[in-house]
């Protein structure tokens, strides 16, 4: 018991372990994630319907999108943004690692007679080049990537954009980092059975890394069948300056900051913010 408790409370090095794939490859968890995406009462996986409507309308206007424009949604989930772009006759492609989310998105598009290209793939491995006028990466997906994954992701995004193509993403801010608190708690069938269809006890340890501006939610799941699983949910937090450095090093020029991907006013006091960058051609 002592050894197990010690392991539970062990604080790893920042991004020492990476288990995000398990959220998308495990059938039960993948279905749970899909239900979170589609639940308009919580914003655990997606924004609420009103925000998404406003966001898509604002992006179409801000980037002057039309029926000739091509947009790529990296981490599209069940198509909440892609379907709305398609309804406005925007050429849209959605890329996501989750089979459940892509299957739902494809079914929705078929039912609504929408034209959307969906690709079931890890966006870190995406290789289309010079395709999009605009790329989007929403719901702070970028923050869940390690430094080396972010570098790889920015290379993928850069290559996928046409000459002078634009990119918009949202991220967690340093104000959001300051609001996080370290904690440890456990609960039977934590998150309403999210982690397993079996009976289980879920332990979550939240750690902060002050130097790196990283937070970790470390979930340890003890199932009734004796199986033990650990899931590491990393989140990187940014200042406008630190985010600018990463994008400029990847060949982008920063155009503007907003409070969110619906054109809200930027403030360093907000828990999140959005950045718009342009591909530089060298």
Same domain, 87 and 53: yes
* Angle in degrees, 0-180, between the axes of helices 99-111 and 27-38, rounded to the nearest 10: 50
Range of the domain at 10: 2-22+176-236
pLDDT < 70 stretches in the chain = 1, 24, 37, 40-46, 282
Helix (H, G, I), strand (E, B) or coil at 170: strand
Domain count along the chain: 2
Expressed in angstroms, the distance from the first to the final Cα of the chain is 58
pLDDT attached to residue 43: 60
Same domain, 7 and 109: no
pLDDT attached to residue 160: 98
Same domain, 88 and 126: yes
Same domain, 159 and 193: no
pLDDT in tens, 36-90: 767 766 665 567 899 999 999 999 999 999 999 999 999 999 999 999 999 999 9
Same domain, 219 and 154: no
Same domain, 35 and 93: yes
Do 202 and 191 touch, CB atoms closer than 8 A? yes
Same domain, 33 and 150: yes
Same domain, 61 and 131: yes
Same domain, 166 and 275: yes
DSSP 44: S
Same domain, 223 and 152: no
Same domain, 48 and 187: no
Write the CB contacts of 183 (distance below 8 Å, at least 6 apart in sequence): 204, 205, 206
CATH number for the domain that contains residue 154 = 3.40.50.150
pLDDT attached to residue 50: 92
Mark which of 219, 236, 253 sits at the end of a domain.
236
Write the CB contacts of 60 (distance below 8 Å, at least 6 apart in sequence): 85, 88, 90
Same domain, 168 and 251: yes
């Amino acid at each position: 018991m002592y050894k197990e408790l010690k392991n539970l409370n062990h604080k790893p090095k920042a991004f020492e372990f990476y288990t995000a794939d398990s959220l998308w490859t495990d059938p039960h968890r993948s279905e749970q994630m899909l239900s979170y995406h589609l639940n308009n009462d919580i914003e655990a996986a997606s924004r609420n319907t009103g925000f998404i409507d406003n966001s898509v309308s604002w992006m179409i206007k801000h980037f002057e999108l039309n029926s000739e424009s091509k947009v790529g949604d990296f981490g599209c989930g069940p198509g909440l943004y892609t379907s709305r772009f398609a309804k406005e006759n925007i050429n849209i492609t959605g890329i996501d690692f989750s089979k459940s989310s892509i299957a739902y998105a494809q079914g929705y598009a078929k039912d609504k007679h929408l034209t959307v290209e969906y690709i079931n793939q890890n966006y870190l491995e995406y290789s289309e080049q010079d395709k999009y006028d605009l790329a989007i990466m929403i719901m702070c997906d970028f923050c869940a990537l390690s430094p080396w994954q972010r570098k790889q992701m920015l290379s993928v995004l850069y290559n996928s954009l046409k000459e002078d193509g634009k990119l918009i993403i949202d991220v967690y801010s340093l104000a959001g980092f300051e609001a996080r608190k370290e904690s440890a708690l456990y609960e039977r069938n934590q998150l309403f059975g999210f982690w397993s269809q079996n009976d289980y006890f879920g332990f979550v340890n939240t750690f902060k890394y002050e130097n790196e501006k990283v937070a970790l939610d470390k979930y340890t799941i003890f199932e009734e069948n004796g199986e033990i699983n650990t899931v590491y949910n990393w989140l990187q937090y940014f200042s406008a300056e630190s985010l600018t450095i990463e994008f400029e090093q990847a060949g982008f020029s920063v155009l503007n900051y907003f409070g969110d991907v619906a054109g809200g006013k930027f403030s360093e006091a907000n828990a999140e913010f959005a950045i718009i960058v342009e591909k530089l051609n060298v």
